[in-house]
Amino acid sequence: MVIFFVAPAFIFTVVFIAYPALMSAYYSLYQWRGMSEARTFVGLENWQQLFSDPVILQCIWHNLALVAVAVLIGIPLAFAIALVLARAKVFGRSLYRTAYFFPVVLSVTVVGVLWSWVYNPQYGLLNEGLRAIGLGQLAKPWLGDSKLVMPAVLLVTVWRFTGFYIIVFMAALESIPRDIYDVATLDGTNLWQLGIHVLVPMLREVIIVTIAIAITASIKRFDLIYVMTMGGPVHDSELLATYMYKKAFLSFDMGYASTIAFFLFLLTLALVVIQLQSMRREEAVEF
C-alpha cells in the first residue's frame, strides 16, 4: 500500500530531476550544437572552459546575492509581517493578506514588464516621482547602470516572492495551539519576544523547509531577470540560468550549456545540503 503513495513522487523525481541532471552531465562531455545527433566527444574541455569563464564567476555572485537577499531579508520580513497579521489587531487583515500575496499570482512576465516601466529612465514612475518631489538629481537609468541594476532587480525579487513566504508562515502560526499565545501574554511577553523566543523555535522545521525553497528558487531564477534585463548590461545582472539559456538557444552551444546546467544543479544541491546540516547542528547543540 505504501508504494502507491511513494511512487508518484519517486517517478516525478526520476523523470523531471534525476534523468535531466544525468543527461546534462552526459552532454557536458560533448561538443554539440543541438541541431542534429552529431556530437564530438571533448572530455572535460567544457568544464575547463566553465572554470576559466569570467562570466560564470559573475553569475555565481549574482545568484548568491539572490540567495542572501531571500534568506536574510525576504524570509525574516515575511515572518515579521505574518506575525503581525496573525497576532496583532490589524484593521482589514484579509485585505493585507490579499495585497501581499497578489504579486505571487501575477505572471512573472507581467511583473518584469511592469517593473521595467517603473525603472524606465525617461518616463518611469520612480524617476518621475523623484523629479516631482524635487529630487530629480537622484534619477538614474536603474536597469542600465552596472552598479544599480542588481540592487534594482533584488528589490523586485523581494516584492515578487515575499508574499509566498508570508502565506506559509501564516499557515504555520495558525496551527500553533492558542494556549501558547495565552500563556505568553500572561507572562507579559510582547509580540516580538513571542515571535523570536517562542515561535521561531517551534517553527524550526517550517523555517528550514522555507529556507531550502528560497535557496533553490534563487539559484535557478531565470524568467524575471531575463524579462527585465536579459542579463545586461554587459552581464552585470547575468545569472547562471540566463547565461545557460543564451549559450543553448542563442549560441547553440548545447555541450557548454549542459555543463552550466549540471553545475547549476550541483551548486543548488550543495547549498541546500549545507543549509540543512547547519540547521541540524544548531538543533543538536540546543538539545
CB proximity list for 160: less than 8 A, separation 6 or greater: 103, 104, 106, 108, 111, 224
Give first-to-last CA distance, the chain, whole Å: 36
| pLDDT tens digits, one per residue of 98-139 | 888 899 999 999 999 999 999 999 889 999 999 999 988 999
Give me the residues paired with residue 30 across strands: 41
Give the range among 3-17, 79-93, 221-235, 261-275 with minimum mean pLDDT.
Answer: 79-93
C-alpha cell at 25: 552531465
Beta-bridge partner residues of 40: 31
Q: Provide the domain limits for residue 133.
A: 2-286
Return d(Cα 227, Cα 219) in angstroms, integer.
Answer: 17
* CATH number of the CATH domain containing 133: 1.10.3720.10
Q: H or E element: which one contains 284?
A: helix 254-286
pLDDT value of position 272: 83
Q: At what angle do helices 54-69 and 240-249 cross, to 10 degrees?
A: 140
How many domains does the chain divide into? 1
| Cell 552526459 found at | 26
Q: How many alpha carbons fall within 13 Å on the CB side of residue 247?
A: 25
Asked if residue 67 lies in contact with residue 246, where contact means CB atoms within 8 angstroms, the answer is: no
Residue of higher predicted confidence among 204 and 259 = 259
Distance CA 178, CA 85 (A): 15
